[in-house]
Amino acid sequence: MPTDRSKSNVLPHSQSAPNSMQLRRVAVTNLKPAPYNPRVDLVPGHPTFEKLRRSIETFGSVEPIVWNCRNGHVVGGHQRLSVLKHLRRSHVDVVVVDLDLPAEKTLNLALNRIVGEWDEGKLAELLKDLTADPSLDLGLTGFDGTEIDHVLANVAITAGLANDDAAFDVAANLQTSKPAITKPGELIVLGDHRLLCADCTVAADVDRLMDGQRAVLFATDPPYLVDYDGTNHPGTKPGKHKTNSPGTNGVIMSRAALPSMRVAHASKLRSRPTKNKDWSGTYGVTWDDADANTDLYDKFIAVAVEHAIAPNAAWYCWHASRRQAMLEAAWIKHGAFVHCQIIWAKNRPVLTRTWYAWQHEPCLMGWLQGNKPPRTQRDVLSTVWHIDTIPNGEQRPDHPTPKPLEVFETPMKQHTRVGDVCYEPFAGSGTQIIAAEKLARRCFALEISPHYCDVIVRRWIHAVGPAKAPRDLVTRYAVQAQGATVKATGKKAVSA
C-alpha cells in the first residue's frame, strides 16, 4: 500500500541505498538556509535572480532543492529558495538527504561548484574548515588541491594582512627594544604561528617549539658567518677610521642574559678601528662571526632533521658564496641531496669593498636523499629569481642581507598548502612569519635574540592589525611609532 510521501519517514542514512533519491514535499518555512553557504545571496533585480524567477514561473520548480533532514539545512538550492519565497510559494518538493555536518558541507560545495557567484570570504572559511578534517575526500567538492590553495591564499592576501609590511620600520622598532620585552625561553603564539626565543641547536628547545608537529618546508636565512664589524677589510685611509663602541649603536647583551645560548659574537665586542661598515652594534648578540667554524651549521641541521622537519621536506638555505662548500658538506653529512642552486638577482648592487659589487645571493635547494618533496604549484620557475631589494629607508636598513617576502613566499607556493607548517630556525626580523601569514601557512620559528623577538611580535601585529591580534600582546608590545601608539583593541591572547 503506497504511503503519503508528504508524511513518510526518511530512512536513516545507513539504510539508504547510495543511488536512491527520496522526494518529499515540505513547507517552505521549514527550509533553513545553511549559514555557511558560500554563494552570494540573490535579491530581486539581480540578473541571476530574475532568470530563475522567469524559469520557475514558466516551468515550475523542476529541479528539487536538496534538504538535510537531520538539521533542516538546505544543502543545494539556496538561490531557488530565495525565488520561491519571493513568489510566496508555501510548499516545495525536496530531495532528502541524511548527513552529518562535514558531509553536508562537502555536498554543498559539490552542488555549488558549477553556477553562481562566490562569496570569497565564506568560501575560504568553508574550505579551511573542511581541510582541517583529514578524513574528508575534498575531491568530492569539485575543487582540486591547487584550486583550494588558490582560494585560501587569495583571501589571506586581501584579508590576512591589514597593513603593508613594507611600511614597518624594523630598525626603529629594534632601537625601542631596550631593554627587551621578550624573555629568553619564552614561547609566543602569533595567530597560527609559534615563536620561541631560544637556541635552534638545542633539541629540547626545538621539540618545545614544534609540539609534536613536523614541517614540510625547511627554508631559512642562517647567519653567514662573516665579520659584521668590518674588521676583515682593513681601512685604506689612515686617520679616517670609525670605532665600534658596544652598546651605543644598537642592542648589546651580556653573556649572562642568555646562559643557555651560544654567543659567538660577544667575544669580539671590543673597540677596533676600521673605516668599513660596522654591523655589530645592530646585531648585538648573534651567531654571525667569521671566527666561527662549521659547528653551528652542523648542529642546527642535525636538530632540524631529528626534531623539526618531515622526511620529504623541501630544503632552502641562503648562504654567503664563501661558505657554500661548508654548507654543502653539512647537508651531505646529514643525508641531504643538493638539487640545485637558486640565485636571487637583485635590481641594484650592494656597495662593498670587493672588486665587483655584489648584486646576487645564492641559495641551495634540495631534500633528504630519496625523499623528494611534493610540488604544489604547476608553474616551473627559473633558478634565477629577479626580485627587487628592499628600497632605501624601508625595512631593515641596518641589516646587510635583508630579504623581501618573496624569497620565502616562492618556496611556500612550490611545496606547501594552506595550513602547512614551515620551520625557521633563524627568524631574524620575522620575514618568513609574515610571508606565512600572507599565504595562510604556519611558521614555527626560533630566534635567539629577545630584541629581535620584540621586533617580530610588533611586525606581526602591524601586519594583521591590532584588532585581530591578542589584546594583551598588543598592550605588552605597544610602542610609540610614527606619532601614534599601537592601541590595545585586539582579542585576548591564548596562553602558550
* C-alpha span between 448 and 263 (Å, rounded): 9
* C-alpha span between 354 and 183 (Å, rounded): 39
Do 433 and 439 contact (CB within 8 A), yes or no? no
Residue 209 reports pLDDT greater than 90: yes
Q: What is the mean pLDDT of residues 102-126?
A: 77
**Chain segment 151-165, per-residue pLDDT in tens:** 776 666 555 577 888
* Residue type for position 415: H
> What residues contact 134, with CB distance under 8 A and at least 6 apart?
none
> What residues contact 424, with CB distance under 8 A and at least 6 apart?
219, 220, 432, 433, 443, 444, 445, 446
Do 174 and 237 contact (CB within 8 A), yes or no? no
Do 358 and 321 contact (CB within 8 A), yes or no? no
> What residues contact 155, with CB distance under 8 A and at least 6 apart?
120, 121, 123, 124, 440
Helices (H), 95-167: 101-112, 120-131, 145-155
Q: What is the mean pLDDT of residues 448-463?
A: 94
Q: What is the CATH number of domain 13-119?
A: 3.90.1530.10
* C-alpha span between 435 and 298 (Å, rounded): 27
* C-alpha span between 326 and 328 (Å, rounded): 6
DSSP class per residue in 203-239: HHHHHHHHTT--EEEEEE-------SSSTTS--SSTT
**Chain segment 298-330, per-residue pLDDT in tens:** 999 999 999 999 999 999 999 999 889 999 999
Helix (H, G, I), strand (E, B) or coil at 452: helix
Please name which of 161, 172, 221 lies closest in space to residue 402, comparing C-alpha atoms: 221
* Residue type for position 149: D
> What residues contact 296, with CB distance under 8 A and at least 6 apart?
201, 222, 223, 225, 262, 264, 287
Note the pTM of the prediction, 2 decimals.
0.65
| DSSP assigned state of 158 | I
Domain edges within the chain: 13-119, 163-225+292-485
| DSSP assigned state of 284 | S
Across the chain, mean pLDDT equals 78
Fold for 163-225+292-485, please state it. Rossmann fold (3.40.50)
Do the two domains 13-119 and 163-225+292-485 of this chain adopt the same fold? no
Opening angle at CA 345, ends 342 and 346, nearest 5:
140
Residue 397 reports pLDDT greater than 50: no
* C-alpha span between 307 and 389 (Å, rounded): 33
Cis bond before residue 179 (omega within 30° of 0): yes
Burial of 379 (0-12, 13-18, 19+ CB in 10 A): exposed
The x, y and z cell numbers of residue 267, run together, are 667575544
Q: Within 10 Å of residue 427's Cβ, how many Cβ atoms?
A: 27
**Which pLDDT belongs to residue 14?**
39
**Termini Cα distance of the chain:** 64
Q: When comparing pLDDT for 458 and 138, which is higher? A: 458
Helix (H, G, I), strand (E, B) or coil at 22: strand
**Which pLDDT belongs to residue 282?**
44
Residue 240 reports pLDDT greater than 70: no
Beta bridge partners of 118: 39
Residue 406 region by backbone torsions, left for phi larger than 0, else alpha for psi between -120 and 50, else beta: alpha
Find where cell 636565512 sits: 221
**Which pLDDT belongs to residue 39?**
80
Q: What percent of the chain lies above the pLDDT cut of 90?
A: 43
Beta bridge partners of 342: 363
Residue 465 reports pLDDT greater than 50: yes
Q: What percent of the chain lies above the pLDDT cut of 70?
A: 72
| Total residues found in the chain within this entry | 496
Do 161 and 437 contact (CB within 8 A), yes or no? yes
Q: When comparing pLDDT for 211 and 43, which is higher? A: 211
**Which pLDDT belongs to residue 476?**
94
